[in-house]
Amino acid sequence: MRQVNAEAAGLLKAAASEDGSVNIHVQGGTIKLDVSSFVALMFDREPDIEAEDGMCRPLRSLFPIPFPYTGGLNYV
């Protein structure tokens, strides 16, 4: 993440909760996500995350994590 945006990566901290949710700490606030919302944040182009815009800005610069081009890959 630091290669993509070192400043935003430095503002981000994720921690699992005892109830199975994930707490994203960013910009002095916390976003509590269930597991499916956390996966959506990581990989979906437009995740449905409810948070203040100031908290989402660093997240948008880091996510989604791009997948490599898979054309021509064959699995045996």
* pLDDT at residue 19, as a whole number: 92
Whole-number Cα distances in Å, 70 to 5, 28, 48, 67, 75:
25, 38, 26, 8, 11
Q: What is the pLDDT of residue 7?
A: 66
Is 24 in contact with 30 (CB distance < 8 Å)?
yes
What's 66's DSSP letter? Answer: P
Instruction: Supply the pLDDT for residue 8.
Output: 66
pLDDT at 3: 63
Instruction: Name which residue leads in pLDDT, 55 or 24.
Output: 24
